[in-house]
Amino acid sequence: MKKFTDPRLQDCIQHCWDCRDTCQSTLYNYCLVQGGRHVEQAHVRLMADCIQICQASADFMTRGSEMHAAVCAACAEVCDVCAESCEMMDDDDMKVCARACRACAESCRQMSQMSGRMADPSEAIMPNAPPM
């Protein structure tokens, strides 16, 4: 397998994986333990949405989908809203999650502005992507 040659693409995929992993770990290993407002339905649903859209966005880019820009735009929007929700909790663990969401949102916003085809749609899967 070869690595992606466009560093923006490689960075965005990594930001998506990092955000997905951070949100998932935070939700299951922190929010559920904390209880209270950390497990309010809207917040939990939003974190689950963020986890899933980051996974989808990374998958679209990894396989060189021509639809990656649309998915990245949606990912940026969801990550921004998730970051806001996490920041409202006002504790350090949630701030870590919010930072991962913000980094992913910014990277996905840049990728969403790429039109049509990927820089090299024949590129293989990124070698350090986590297993599904």
The count of domains in the chain is: 1
- Give the type of residue at 10: Q
State pLDDT tens for residues 51-63.
999 999 999 999 9
Is 126 inside a domain boundary?
Answer: no
- Give the type of residue at 7: P
pLDDT computed for residue 132 by the predictor: 42
pLDDT computed for residue 114 by the predictor: 77
Q: Region of 38 please: left (phi>0), alpha (psi -120 to 50) or beta.
A: alpha
Q: Region of 128 please: left (phi>0), alpha (psi -120 to 50) or beta.
A: alpha
CATH of the domain at 89: 1.20.1270.360
Task: Report d(CA 34, CA 16) in Å as an integer.
Answer: 25
The ranges of the chain with pLDDT < 50 are: 1-2, 117, 119-128, 131-132
pLDDT computed for residue 7 by the predictor: 86
Angle between helices 41-62 and 7-26 (to 10 degrees): 150
Is 68 inside a domain boundary?
Answer: yes
Helix (H/G/I), strand (E/B), else coil: 119? coil
pLDDT computed for residue 97 by the predictor: 97
Is 120 inside a domain boundary?
Answer: no
- Give the type of residue at 72: C
Task: Report d(CA 73, CA 57) in Å as an integer.
Answer: 9
Is 97 inside a domain boundary?
Answer: yes
- Cβ atoms of 37 and 43 closer than 8 Å: yes
Is 101 inside a domain boundary?
Answer: yes
pLDDT computed for residue 115 by the predictor: 56
Task: Report d(CA 43, CA 39) in Å as an integer.
Answer: 7
Is 52 inside a domain boundary?
Answer: yes
Q: What is the pTM of this model?
A: 0.83
Name the residue range of residue 72's domain.
Answer: 7-112
DSSP states of 5-44 as a string?
S-HHHHHHHHHHHHHHHHHHHHIIIIIHHH-GGGG-HHHH
Is 59 inside a domain boundary?
Answer: yes
